[in-house]
Structure 1
Amino acid sequence: MRNSQTGLHSARILLFAMIGTVITYQTVAFAQNRSASVMEKLDKDQDGKISRKEWRKKNIFAEVDLDKDGSISLNELKQRFGETEESNNEDRPDPVSMAAIRRSKLDDVIHQKSRGLFETGLKPIWRDDVICRGIDEWYGKDYTPVRPKESYHGGIDLPAPFGTPVLAIMDGEVIALYEGKKNPRGIEVVLRHTPEESGLPFYLYSRYTHFDSMPKLIKGQQIKMGEVIGETGNTGVQGCELKGIPCKRPRRSVTHYDILYSISEKYYDTGNILVPFEAHWMDPIALYRKQPPFDSHSMRALPEVEKMIAISYKLDSGEYYPADTKMIWPYSCRKK
């Protein structure tokens, strides 16, 4: 009986391996044809290049036009989609990381999911004697019904009045500042946290968006946990604006907060977004478990009772809870 079960288990492993191989082959084959397909579709005058007028997503045109000649060539498309040796060299993350984190209109959502961008069901809880700012848009929320393509929320939204101080969640370094004038994320700050700073076995990247104004920070600046890094706002282009139609109402004042992680210390700055090498998404609430696992698959599989995560925080009086914590919520809490 045991031999029979062992044989069945081995057969299942072989079957899953074969399925994985087929999927990988199909994905690679699709990627190899993607740049040519985009060129054929967008090059309306058939001159072998895509002009700014022909390019659909105007806000990333400059990013794709690597040689800045005012048009996009087939080679530039290949580099965009990770189809050339140059795009796979040591100066650029692997194509899956690029597609998963960049999330441009042309990137496949399958890569986002493969790197952990899907709903986990985690919920934050605090001590009964404090009041803290909560979430109104959760991690991995499915936006597909209101978007032109399959789409998921890559972080959590914490609404707060304009000007509310946003705090660094742990010690780290400022590695990117974006004005985001033509970007839905608006004004953005990216901090990197080393394993020594977090106490965890990988590099963490905390990203905060929609600031009211550009924070008075500089790249390379060292930040301490609990330090104010900016003020809550609502900057960022809304979907209705991108479509060229009037918006019914402005975005609420909010901080969008997300976490990326990687075993690599390297990262790539496109000028509009930062992509760590070997990047993965993390539900920000998972971070406050303070012990592995942190990946989205493991978080989704937790029993419901274990999905209620106790959050460490800073009080508006300056105290930390717990006192020895290495990470806190992006907003301060207050005693009842």
Structure 2
Amino acid sequence: MTRSRTALTIILAAAILVCAGGDADAKRKRDRVARDFRHTDADGNGELSREEWNRRGNFKRLDADGNGALSLDEVRAMYEGVDEREYSWPPTGIQKPTVEIDPSIEADRIDAVALDEETLCGIGRMIRCDTEPQIKRGLAETGTGPQFPDGAACPGIDDYWAMDYAYKRNRQSFHGGIDLPVPWGTPMRAVAAGSVVAIYKAEQSKRGIELVLRHTPDQTSLPFWTYSAYGHMDRDPEFEIGERVKMGQIIGPTGNTGISARGRKGGGQSSTRRPAIHLAMFRSDKPIYGEANDTIIPANGHWLDPIAFYRQSGPYDSPSLIALPDSEKAVPVPVMLTDGTTLPADTKRIWPYACKR
């Protein structure tokens, strides 16, 4: 009997240790900040240099001890408030403008079969497509980064443009946008005046609840038509297809909606994603566009580095951006402040979140 009890005790103790170890391992995997920090820390020295930070923005502001490198605790400061899900919506004092419909949004829509295969695969990124057409259509890391106005505290980037996502997806994959982590419910704002071309639901993609705007060249002062997509909203946006939107207009609260990184359409929502906007952009020399794989696809469209969207002059295409000298990789970003003023005052483009003074 004594031997049996001893054996049982050993088995129970081992089971407890296994469970405890499993819980610790699961918790470690759920710690997204630590996981991404380890992935970014290329030399494994426990801190991130400016080069490893790769122009995500706000390096100096995050470097609290001023030693020229970021510790894990300093990086965690980016995620302050992300665990507090309670917020009120809509924001106090916000009145939605009178609805005006842009008839060209419906008139310029074409069937997806009219799109060429490279554009369809390059931007639509269907399962049957590999990454080659994506790269040809501009989905390539450019090395650009935001430079915010002096005195403006703006949300920075954690997952940057076209970063290698193979470690998240278990296959060759590139990040088709930029992610800006902010507290739950932080209002997303239209980066320029435009019109709504699509609204997608959370169960449809990894981008979750998403609104897509189209911007004319006159609305941005850019030499092409631009599309901006705002993903991971916390609730369905209250807009109609074709509705005109003003620059800086609030389009929805930030959340973390979207199926998990390894999930499929209709699958479960991610349990580890932090609240953040996923901002994606496309450009085209034509106003017409199609739709496939829950994605708006401009005819003859190309991916647009979201940071390049803020350049005051060309180049805007990824190969030319890649070729720029390091001195031109930092892009001054026009912003809207929380009081509604903009820097500069006459800008037609702004960061997707209001900045504080």
TM-score normalized with structure 1 length? 0.70
Work out the CA distance in 1 between the residues paired with 2:142 and 2:326: 10
Which residue does 2:221 correspond to in 1?
A: 199
* 8 Å CA contact retained: 1:240, 1:247: no
Work out the CA distance in 2 between the residues paired with 1:307 and 1:213: 35
Per-residue CA shift, 1:99-136, capped at 9, x if unaligned?
A: 01111221121000001101000010112211000000
Which residue does 1:190 correspond to in 2?
A: 212
Residue from 114, 127, 142 that aligns with 1:92 = 114
Q: 1:241 to 1:268 in 2, by over 3 A?
A: closer
Amino acid at match of 1:112: Q
For the pair 1:129 / 2:151, whether they are aligned, the reply is yes
* 8 Å CA contact retained: 1:266, 1:276: yes
For the pair 1:147 / 2:169, whether they are aligned, the reply is yes
Work out the CA distance in 1 between the residues paired with 2:289 and 2:202: 19
Amino acid at match of 2:300: E
Amino acid at match of 1:330: P
* Distance apart, 1:170 and its partner CA: 0.4
Work out the CA distance in 2 between the residues paired with 1:271 and 1:143: 19
Amino acid at match of 2:331: I
* 8 Å CA contact retained: 1:209, 1:257: yes
* Distance apart, 1:275 and its partner CA: 0.7
* Distance apart, 1:144 and its partner CA: 1.8
Work out the CA distance in 1 between the residues paired with 2:121 and 2:288: 17
* 8 Å CA contact retained: 2:139, 2:162: yes
Which residue does 1:325 correspond to in 2?
A: 347
Which residue does 2:65 correspond to in 1?
A: none
SS in 2 for 1:130: coil
Work out the CA distance in 2 between the residues paired with 1:146 and 1:269: 26
1:1-336 map, 5 Å: 92-242=114-264, 249-270=271-292, 272-335=294-357
Work out the CA distance in 1 between the residues paired with 2:136 and 2:240: 33
Amino acid at match of 2:280: D
Work out the CA distance in 2 between the residues paired with 1:98 and 1:246: 26
* Distance apart, 1:199 and its partner CA: 1.4
Return 5+ residue gaps in structure 2 as ranges. Answer: 1-109
Which residue does 1:17 correspond to in 2?
A: none
* 8 Å CA contact retained: 1:211, 1:232: yes
* 8 Å CA contact retained: 2:195, 2:244: yes
Which residue does 1:68 correspond to in 2?
A: none
* 8 Å CA contact retained: 1:240, 1:246: no
SS in 1 for 2:308: helix
Per-residue CA shift, 1:182-218, capped at 9, x if unaligned?
A: 3111101000001111112211000110100001111
* Distance apart, 1:244 and its partner CA: 11
SS in 2 for 1:229: strand
SS in 2 for 1:206: strand
Work out the CA distance in 2 between the residues paired with 1:259 and 1:293: 16
Work out the CA distance in 2 between the residues paired with 1:269 and 1:248: 25
Identity of aligned residues (%): 42
Work out the CA distance in 2 between the residues paired with 1:236 and 1:248: 6
Work out the CA distance in 1 between the residues paired with 2:228 and 2:270: 31
Which contiguous aligned blocks of 4+ residues in structure 1 show a shift greater than 3 angstroms? 88-91, 240-249
Mean CA deviation greater in 239-248 or 180-189: 239-248
Work out the CA distance in 2 between the residues paired with 1:198 and 1:283: 15
Amino acid at match of 1:304: D
Work out the CA distance in 2 between the residues paired with 1:291 and 1:180: 36
Return 5+ residue gaps in structure 1 as ranges. Answer: 1-87
TM-score normalized with structure 2 length? 0.66
Amino acid at match of 1:113: I
* 8 Å CA contact retained: 2:168, 2:261: no
Q: 1:238 to 1:263 in 2, by over 3 A?
A: same
Amino acid at match of 1:183: S
Q: 1:163 to 1:95 in 2, by over 3 A?
A: same
Q: 1:271 to 1:304 in 2, by over 3 A?
A: closer
